[in-house]
Each structure stands twice: as structure tokens, then as C-alpha cells.
Amino acid sequence: MAKAIVQFPKGFLWGTATAAHQVEGNNTNNNWSAWEKEPGRIMHGQSAGVACDWWGGRWKEDLDRAAETGQNAHRFSVEWSRIQPEPGKWDENAIERYRTILRGMHDRNLRPMVTLHHFTDPLWLVEMGGWENPETPAFFAKYVEKVVASLKEYVTEWVTINEPNVYSYSGYVSGDFPPGKKDMGTAFSVMVNLVKGHALAYHGIHNVQPEAKVGLAINYRSFYPASKSPLDIFVAKTQSAIFNDLFPKAAVDGKVRFLFKTVTIPEAKNTQDFIGLNYYTRDMVSFDITKPNTLFGRSFYRPEAELSSTGFIANEPDGFTEAIKWANRFGYPIYITENGVEDEKDTLRPKYLAYHIHKLWHMVNFNSNIKGYFHWSLVDNFEWERGWTQRFGLWGLDTETQQRIRRGSVDFYAEICRQNGLSSEMIEKYCPDAIQNIFPD
Ligand code: GAL
């Protein structure tokens, strides 16, 4: 018997999350496959390649691993460019493949959550201007209706767009994602079109499947003023208002607010049945006149924070509490649609997991209506512009041999899922140095 245990409500979903382009392999008809061919875009010139070979059938073995280690849910995405390879053409074989994968999830008692857009766009759409084109929301809605009509017998929870905030920031402000632009004005029109696309998709899904539950997955980043200076506070607030609030607020009242501009999209009003929350880390933010592209904010991690292996993520569980409090204010059920850390050697992950699950439990007990947690990720996969340099998987991946490497966190997460809770015994076993913080004497 454990000395202490924190317990989650019955029926809580415990899973992992993946995305099509990152795990499927051999995606050749989308913007990322083209981007990966351009010199200098991806670290070390890497590309997704066969990725985790899910399209070749290895989804089976990975979902076996998920189910055998106590998980009861899985979030994944379907690839628009496979389903609609050309504007007027549906690939029924690709749709059938997704139906098979979904049946595979149900056979393994994994409840699916499906993301309809996770960063990738078909090449034909890119040629028409991608999300800069005001017609794209309608193209997206058509694709979404086709997918939902074809898959609805297996799926109730849909995420329309994954991290529209990261998509628009990285593609149109920092330029790290395709199309690599650095232009705030264009970023704003893309944001407006993403809100429209989400809204049309929301209504389309409910027409096809009235009982569906639909949301966005937002990457919540905690922007913490580096000092008490009013300028630091102002910049942190402004960054948060745009990065964190813009999309979910627009889906509440139909207004897209960006600095001094507001655009009203009436059809976007009340278009969320849940909030999908992706949380990784917290930034300290200070005012910096030389950084107009980040709204005059300079970001850095707390010097004493523990960092992930490439320094990409600081272990900041208080930011997770802040994120859940923020999500809770919208008044919808919440799913943690992503949370995790890149950590090839699995030295930080157990601690990161313990602290974040503990904060999650705390918020569940403060009346947050949190329905489930999806760890990013099940197996190492292609990390966008960072290529294969970052390893987020519970299982590692040898990309040469496709061999999976069982990291210690697999067993830790399995115990959490099976017990539907976190115990002092688990902490003593997997990350003893966290015990005093989580279960103090
Ligand atoms: C998120 C994204 C995922 C994954 C993760 C870790 O922003 O939705 O696809 O890449 O970050 O970097």
C-alpha cells in the first residue's frame, strides 16, 4: 500500500497524442514535405521520411504498446493531403485506412480523439494561397464534412485545428514553419481565416453528427513578467492576449482581437464544446525595444529552471496550473490535449510527468472539469523544424531500424494510467527527488 495517493475521477481519459505528418511517414503531397526539401529549413537537413511508419502499418504495434501499458485513449490526426489529394478528388482508400486505424483503437479500448488539421496543408491548397486565401475556410469545411461523415461511427471528440496560434506565429511571424513569412499583417489575415475555418468546421461537424464534441487545441504558453516593471507586465499581458486568448475568445464571442484591431465573425460565436489545452512551458518576459516581431518582448527561462535536453523546454509546472485556471474560465470541459518534454535519456521526463500530473490532480479537485490527459508523445516522432533532434516519446525510436526503445517513463505512465492516480510509491520508484515537493512529510 502506498503511503499517499492522489486519485482522479472515474472515467478519466489517459492517453498519448500524435499527429499525422509526424508519425505516418511518406507524406509527399503537403507543405511540410516540400519545406523539408528546401535547404536550411530543418535542422541538419532532416526530413520526416518514413517517420514511425504508421502508414506502413506500425500504428498497430504502437497502439498495442499504448493499450498494454494502461492507456485508454489516443489523440491522432488525419492528413488532409491524403484524403483530398486534389481539389475535386477524395481518396477513398486513404479514408478506409483511417477507418481501419480507428477500428484498431476501439479493438484496443483506446477512445479516439481526432484532429482534423495539425499544421499540414495539401500542396494544391498552398498553390492557391493556403490560409491567406479567403476561400480556404470553405475548402477546409468541405474536407471536414467529408471526414466526419466517413469516420463518425468511430469518433465523437474532434479537434478542428491544432494550435492555430503556433501555426500563424511560426508560419507568418518567426518564419520557422512554411511558408516562412515574417509579416504581422499577413499573420493577422491568416488568424482571421483560421477562426472562420474553425467556425465553419464546427457547424459542419454538428450538421453531420449532432452529438459530436468539437474544440480547438490551443498551445498555452505562460508569459511571466520578468520583473515588476510596468513595461514587463504590459508586454507579458499583450503577448498572452494574442498568443493564448485570441482563438478561444473568438470562438466565444465571434470577435478576433489583435492589438488595436477587431474583426467580427458572427458564425464563430459559441463554437466550442470543449477546450483542448496543450501546455509545455513558461517564459519570463521582459520589455525589449529591439523586438517588434514579438511585440517588444524578450523571452528567457528562469535561470534556476530545469531544462530539457536541448534546452527547448523548462520544467515549469506552476505554468500548468495557470494554464488550467485560464482554460477553466471559459466554462467548458477541458482536455489536456498535449503535455510532455523532449528528453532522449529520460532523465527529466519522470519528474516533469510527476509534477504536471500532480498539478493536474490539484486542479481537478478545484472543480476544473478536466476530462482527460494526452501525453506528447507515444513514440519519438518528427519534430517539425527541429527534425529528429528532439525526442518526446515515452518510447524512443531508432529511425534506421524502426526499433522502439522502451524508456523508463513508459512504466511510470503505465502505473499512473492503471491506478488512475499518482502515489508516493510511484514517485519513490521513478523520481525520488520529487517526493518532498509532491508528498511532503
Ligand atoms: C506542439 C505540436 C506537436 C509537437 C509538440 C512538441 O506545438 O502540436 O505537434 O510537435 O509541440 O514540440
pLDDT in tens, 145-192: 999 999 999 999 999 999 999 999 999 999 999 999 999 999 999 999
Least confident of 1-10, 35-44, 247-256: 1-10
Q: What SS3 class is residue 319?
A: helix
CA atoms within 13 A on the CB side of 188: 13
Q: Going by C-beta distance under 8 Å and a sequence separation of 6 or more, which residues neighbour residue 382?
A: 21, 22, 23, 46, 47, 48, 49, 51, 388
DSSP-derived secondary structure letter, 392: -
Q: Where are the alpha helices (DSSP H) in 152-183?
A: 164-172
Domain that holds residue 55: 5-438
Residue closest by Cα to atom 10 of ligand 1: 383
Q: Going by C-beta distance under 8 Å and a sequence separation of 6 or more, which residues neighbour residue 432?
A: none
**What pLDDT digit, counting tens, does each position of 329-383 carry?**
999 999 999 999 999 999 999 999 999 999 999 999 987 799 999 999 999 999 9
Average pLDDT (294-308) is 96
Sign (positive/negative) of CA torsion 437, 299, 239, 118?
A: negative
Q: Is the peptide bond before 179 cis (omega within 30 degrees of 0)?
A: yes
**Calpha distance 266→277 (Å, rounded):** 24
Distances (CA, A) of 153 to 90, 111, 116, 149, 175: 19, 12, 16, 8, 39
DSSP-derived secondary structure letter, 307: B
**Calpha distance 145→209 (Å, rounded):** 9
Q: Which three cell numbers stand for residue 262?
A: 477587431
Q: Where are the alpha helices (DSSP H) in 341-380?
A: 349-364
CATH number, residue 405 = 3.20.20.80
Contact predicate 211/271, CB 8 Å: no
376 lines ligand 1 (CB under 6 A): yes
pLDDT at 1 over 70: no
pTM over 0.95, yes/no: yes
Where does residue 43 fall: left (phi above 0), alpha (psi -120 to 50 degrees), or beta otherwise? Answer: beta
- Give the Cβ contact number of residue 432 at 10 Å: 11
Count of domains for the chain: 1
352 lines ligand 1 (CB under 6 A): no
Confidence band of 3 (pLDDT split at 50, 70, 90): confident
162 lines ligand 1 (CB under 6 A): yes
217 lines ligand 1 (CB under 6 A): no
Q: Render 324-349 in DSSP notation, one character per residue.
A: HHHHHTT-S-EEEEE-----TT-SSH
| Separation of CA 383 and ligand 1 centre (Å) | 7
| Separation of CA 378 and ligand 1 centre (Å) | 13
Which residue carries 529552471 as its cell? 305
- pLDDT score recorded for residue 246: 98
Q: Going by C-beta distance under 8 Å and a sequence separation of 6 or more, which residues neighbour residue 365?
A: none
| Separation of CA 436 and ligand 1 centre (Å) | 31
**What pLDDT digit, counting tens, does each position of 100-126 carry?**
999 999 999 999 999 999 999 999 999
- pLDDT score recorded for residue 325: 97
- pLDDT score recorded for residue 117: 99
Residue closest by Cα to atom 12 of ligand 1: 383
**Calpha distance 21→15 (Å, rounded):** 19
Please state, rounded to an integer, the average pLDDT across all residues of the chain. Answer: 98
Confidence band of 2 (pLDDT split at 50, 70, 90): low
